[in-house]
A and B are shown apart, each in its own frame.
Chain A
Amino acid sequence: EAGVTQSPTHLIKTRGQQATLRCSPISGHTSVYWYQQALGLGLQFLLWYDEGEERNRGNFPPRFSGRQFPNYSSELNVNALELEDSALYLCASSLSAGALSSYNEQFFGPGTRLTVL
């Protein structure tokens, strides 16, 4: 069974540009999570989508946005790129969070390395 896939593997942009990152969850998973892994800072939660809707958002500015498509794949968009946006962006998927009754294990993709010059 295929795991979580992300594209592209690497992305190089210049300051002020926009970046689009894509994620395909494991078949049967309806929840998708986005994290930023900046050097030395661990994983910072960005966004959570479930059943096509944004369910929760981390402490990031509005220029970080995304969406989830009917097939549960997801896009992360970063507008007006800044140098400090350079990081590894990880996507994870899980079974639907349902009524938030428990933690469903998240399965991670290999990430997209975004470099802003």
Chain B
Amino acid sequence: GNSVTQMEGPVTLSEEAFLTINCTYTATGYPSLFWYVQYPGEGLQLLLKATKADDKGSNKGFEATYRKETTSFHLEKGSVQVSDSAVYFCALSDLSGGSYIPTFGRGTSLIVHP
């Protein structure tokens, strides 16, 4: 079956620091990959996505590259802000099992201090 593994948090950084949140996956098919963000008290929002190998998804200064050879989709940002404090979820979706229901990782909490 499909699975997503994320680094455990919390990740605590100072403002303007470089961020990496690791994500690796296993999938029976050829998945699309996603990062979602959940701000305190809110639902999940799609942050970025990539649908094929070597694609780079990007949004709001965040980037992630679909690496098929290492089955990874690590999230990076060059300079984090306090407002980036949230929980980040890596997810995949493919047609295995007959539907595109996404599989989510457990989430990584990011705390950014001024």
A: residues with CB less than 8 A from B are 3-4, 33, 35, 40-43, 45, 48, 55-56, 58, 90, 92, 97, 100, 102-111
Contacts and interface: CB of A to CB of B under 8 A. Distances in A.
Contacts of B85: none
Given A90-B43, A90-B44, A103-B32, A42 B100 contact: no
A4 B43 contact: yes
7 contacts: A42-B104, A56-B99, A90-B43, A92-B44, A97-B100, A106-B46, A106-B102
Given A97-B100, A100-B98, A103-B93, A40 B106 contact: yes
Given A56-B99, A92-B44, 15 more contacts: A4-B43, A42-B106, A42-B107, A45-B102, A45-B103, A56-B97, A56-B101, A58-B101, A97-B99, A100-B100, A103-B32, A104-B100, A107-B43, A110-B42, A111-B43
B17 interface: no
A3 B42 CA distance: 11
Interface of B: 32, 36, 41-46, 89, 93, 95, 97-107
A92 B43 CA distance: 9
A26 to B, nearest CB: 12
Contacts of B46: 105-106
Contacts of A97: 99-100
A56 B102 CA distance: 12
Contacts of A41: 106
Given A43-B89, A108-B43, A109-B43, A102 B106 contact: no
Nearest to A42: B106
